Amino acid sequence: MAVLSFRTIPLVVVAAVIGLSAEARDDGRYANSPLKGWFESLHSKGGGPCCADADGTALADVDWETRDGHYRVRLLGNWVNVPDDTVITEPNRAGRTMVWPYYVNGRPMIRCFMPGSMI
């Protein structure tokens, strides 16, 4: 039986989160959600669609912040600046902070970001 040390536990958690977010696609689980249509209608200021709720990742309050009037999110353990034109400015019906990341050569980029209520 393998025993995890305190050093490997964070790696296991990161691997689990990466695996979950990598497979998060609308596979029908959200077909009856009352917010499905709203999520699908979300677009960034740049005009790009954010996609559906299943494509986004909910963030804990400790994984996003504002600095110098701009948002930052923590993805894969690193802080990433959120481009202003990716911020969703309409009221957040879901209540939770969400980010729609994509990756270029392993580097996280932001498709859309929707701040939460921080309550």
Tens of pLDDT, residue by residue over 6-58, are: 444 443 333 333 333 433 455 566 667 788 888 888 888 877 788 755 678 89
**Mean pLDDT of all residues in 70-85:** 95
Q: With 0.95 as the threshold, say if the pTM is over it.
A: no
Q: Which residue has the higher pLDDT, 9 or 106?
A: 106
Judge contact between 97 and 59, C-beta under 8 A.
yes
Q: Which tops the pLDDT comparison, 74 or 14?
A: 74
Work out the pLDDT band at 113, boundaries 50, 70, 90: very high
Residue 26 to residue 51: CA distance in whole angstroms: 9
The predicted structure's pLDDT at residue 26: 53
Element spanning 36, H or E: helix 36-41
Closest CA to 52 of 10, 20, 94: 94
